[in-house]
Amino acid sequence: MTDFGSRTGFVGSVLDGDEGLLVLRGAQDGDVAPRVAEHLRTLLVAGARHVRVDARGASGLGADLLPVLGRIQTRLNLRRGVLTVSGLRLDAVARVAAA
Residue 56, domain CATH: 3.30.750.24
- 2 is a domain residue: no
Confidence of residue 24 (pLDDT cuts 50, 70, 90): very high
- 6 is a domain residue: no
Helices (H), 46-83: 65-78
- 26 is a domain residue: yes
- 4 is a domain residue: no
| Domain range for 18 | 11-98
- 1 is a domain residue: no
- Kindly state the average pLDDT of the residues 21-47: 96
Confidence of residue 30 (pLDDT cuts 50, 70, 90): confident
- pLDDT at site 22: 98
Model pTM score: 0.84
- 17 is a domain residue: yes
- 85 is a domain residue: yes
**Predicted confidence (pLDDT) per residue in 43-81, tens digit:** 999 999 999 999 998 999 999 999 999 999 999 999 999
Instruction: Quote the number of domains for the chain.
Output: 1
pLDDT at 4 over 60: no
Residues with Cβ within 8 Å of 95's Cβ and at least 6 positions away in sequence, in order, are 30, 60, 62, 63, 64
Residues with Cβ within 8 Å of 28's Cβ and at least 6 positions away in sequence, in order, are 9, 11, 58, 59, 60, 61
Q: How far is CA 75 from CA 7, 35, 88, in A?
A: 29, 18, 20
Write the burial class of residue 31 (CB in 10 Å: 0-12 exposed, 13-18 middle, 19+ buried): exposed
